[in-house]
């Protein structure tokens, strides 16, 4: 059995994942893929573009070099991540797991940063996975040592490893026949990476991590079987069951694989279509259109000189400033070039494609309040516009919470104390001072609204974190100190009995 075997659904989705990641990384990555994303013209192919010495190759490289790959995918992802995380998530943990709040991964990422990376993977490919794993140094299993261990340090706790969609190559979620609830029985992860050798050279090494529940050839129902894991390197990537070990935390093993799938809208092993695939497709459409458009612009400035009646001459023709062409009587010379009849249509098509791509990304981000728009209307419009972001945020938070709960079970903590609540407030409701002026004016004119209600509104606008009684006490204290108040100047009215010319 080869540990690098791929799941059928993995093979179906891989091209889409790679395309979305390439367009997210930008122009250099897309252009490195050559003819995968930019097809050569028939003339380039006929001129042998696959050979770096052929005219077709040079023509294709120039054709590709002039093209523009817009960063629409990256800009959309960054904007959406900014909206989703403009307020931090709320993460509750058992006390024993608190060290994970600041350092949850081997990359020293906090849980908040890990959730941000989860959301980014959800947007780019629509899929990622979380594995709860133990440090290389095993925890003590001796009963006396375990009894003496009164605290749990960061080095003792399991950590979380994030795997991108392309790295989760195979899985088995159990049989679907019968009425018993099946469990995740098998996951294969590609951990291939570059490693430095003794000569300071870097070489890619193949490495695969295999996660098994119970027997290799059985699909145990939920709650049965013991979790085992094995790492297989390139010198022998043939599966060998004897290489599997049972990870344990102070003697405690698991009866479930501590791996969590996170898609764009669910946490099941079956992958979702990337949510921004439409934008990725438009990026490539624009790339190809830009290549044709700029090729035509280039050809517009590369007219060919034609001479009539000149005949063969040993002297090379010279054109431009200081150049001279001797044409015999009756002869002629002219330039011919590519027609510009389709340039305007190409430009218009590109503008339409840019607008469509901007609309696809912008419709998820238009959360600003409209002038004079009612609260209910704003809520309904924002809910419709941000449905995708809302679903992504909830799914990502649920996936992280699920992984943390597996860790809690593993170390003997209460999984019910693990709660991850994402930010779902995507509305740009920044405080406008004029709104407060209008509220106070309405109250002074007799509107049935109390100062305490206005203060509560200011709390919602993040203008103060003090309670109403505390705010009043602060105001009274400032009045005693004369802070924040300005005594009005007394009007000096003329005394009618006073003779203005008395002191003259």
Helix or strand run (H / E) with residue 333: strand 332-336
Average pLDDT over the chain reads 81
On whether the CB atoms of residues 130 and 160 are closer than 8 A, the answer is yes
Residue 192 has pLDDT above 50, yes or no: yes
Q: Which residues contact 78 (CB under 8 A, 6 or more apart)?
A: none
Closest CA relative to residue 420, chosen from 162, 81, 92: 92
Q: Give pLDDT, residue 369.
A: 43
Residue 291 has pLDDT above 50, yes or no: yes
- The whole-angstrom separation of Cα 347 and Cα 341 is 12
Greater confidence (279 vs 388) lies with: 279
Which range (12-21, 87-96, 155-164, 235-244) has the least confidence? 235-244
Q: Which residues contact 255 (CB under 8 A, 6 or more apart)?
A: 213, 223, 224, 225, 226, 227
- The whole-angstrom separation of Cα 257 and Cα 185 is 7
- The whole-angstrom separation of Cα 29 and Cα 167 is 19
pTM beyond 0.85: the answer is no
Q: Kindly tell me the sign of the dihedral angle through the C-alpha atoms of 23, 270, 256, 231.
A: negative
Q: What token pair was written down for 283?
A: 């990026």
Residue 201 has pLDDT above 60, yes or no: yes
Residue 99: pLDDT band by 50, 70, 90 thresholds? very high
Q: What is the 3-state secondary structure (H, E, C) of 201-245?
A: CEEEECEEEEEEECCCCCCCECCCCCEEEEEEECCCCECCHHHCE
Q: Give pLDDT, residue 394.
A: 94
Question: 114 φ, ψ to 5°?
Answer: -65, -40
Q: What token pair was written down for 218?
A: 């059985």
Residue 419: pLDDT band by 50, 70, 90 thresholds? very high
- Out of 202-216, 342-356, 432-446, 448-462, the most confident range is 202-216
Q: Give pLDDT, residue 371.
A: 44
Q: Kindly tell me the sign of the dihedral angle through the C-alpha atoms of 142, 146, 152, 158.
A: positive
Distances (CA, A) of 301 to 27, 308, 342: 25, 22, 15
Residue 389: pLDDT band by 50, 70, 90 thresholds? confident
Residue 14 has pLDDT above 60, yes or no: yes
Residue 29: pLDDT band by 50, 70, 90 thresholds? very high
């Amino acid at each position: 059995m080869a540990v690098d075997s791929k799941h059928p659904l993995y093979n179906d989705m891989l091209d889409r994942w790679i395309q979305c990641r390439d367009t997210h990384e930008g122009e250099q990555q897309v252009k490195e893929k050559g003819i995968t994303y930019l097809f050569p013209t028939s003339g380039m192919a006929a001129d042998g573009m696959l050979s770096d010495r052929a005219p077709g190759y040079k023509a294709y490289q120039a054709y590709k070099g002039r093209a523009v790959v817009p960063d629409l995918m990256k800009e959309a992802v960054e904007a959406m991540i900014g909206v989703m995380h403009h307020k931090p998530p709320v993460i509750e943990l058992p006390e024993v797991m608190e060290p994970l709040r600041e350092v949850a991964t081997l990359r020293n990422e906090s849980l908040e940063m890990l959730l941000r990376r989860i959301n980014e993977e959800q947007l780019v490919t629509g899929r990622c996975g979380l594995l709860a794993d133990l440090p290389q140094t095993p925890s003590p299993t001796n009963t006396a040592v375990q009894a003496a261990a009164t605290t749990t340090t960061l080095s003792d706790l399991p950590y979380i490893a994030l795997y991108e969609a392309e790295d989760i190559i195979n899985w088995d979620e159990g049989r679907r026949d019968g009425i018993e609830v099946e469990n995740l029985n098998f996951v294969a992860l590609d951990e291939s990476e570059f490693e430095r050798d003794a000569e300071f050279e870097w070489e890619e090494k193949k490495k695969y991590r295999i996660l098994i529940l119970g027997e290799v050839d059985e699909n145990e129902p939920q709650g049965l079987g013991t979790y085992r894991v094995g790492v297989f390197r390139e010198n022998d990537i043939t599966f060998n069951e004897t290489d599997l070990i049972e990870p344990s935390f102070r003697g405690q093993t698991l009866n479930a694989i501590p791996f969590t799938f996170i898609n764009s809208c669910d946490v099941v092993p079956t992958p979702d279509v990337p949510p921004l695939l439409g934008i990725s497709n438009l990026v490539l459409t624009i790339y190809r259109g830009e290549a044709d458009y700029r090729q035509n612009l280039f050809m517009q400035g590369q007219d060919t000189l034609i001479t009539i009646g000149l005949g063969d001459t040993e002297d090379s023709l010279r054109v431009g400033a200081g150049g001279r062409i001797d044409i015999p009587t009756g002869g002629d010379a002219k330039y011919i070039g590519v027609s510009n009849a389709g340039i305007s249509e190409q430009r218009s098509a590109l503008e339409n494609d840019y607008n469509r791509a901007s609309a696809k990304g912008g419709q998820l981000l238009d959360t600003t309040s409209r002038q004079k728009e009612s609260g209910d209307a704003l809520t309904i419009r924002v809910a419709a516009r941000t449905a995708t972001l809302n679903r992504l945020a909830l799914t990502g938070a649920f996936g992280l919470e699920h992984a943390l709960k597996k860790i809690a079970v593993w170390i003997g903590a209460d999984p019910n104390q693990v709660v991850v609540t994402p930010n779902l407030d995507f509305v740009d409701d920044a405080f406008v001072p004029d709104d407060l002026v209008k509220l106070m004016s309405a109250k002074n004119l007799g509107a049935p609204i109390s100062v305490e209600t206005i203060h509560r509104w200011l709390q919602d606008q993040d203008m103060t974190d003090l309670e109403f009684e505390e705010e009043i006490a602060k105001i009274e204290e400032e009045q005693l100190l004369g802070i924040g108040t300005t005594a009005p100047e007394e009007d000096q009215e003329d005394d009618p009995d006073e003779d203005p010319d008395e002191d003259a």
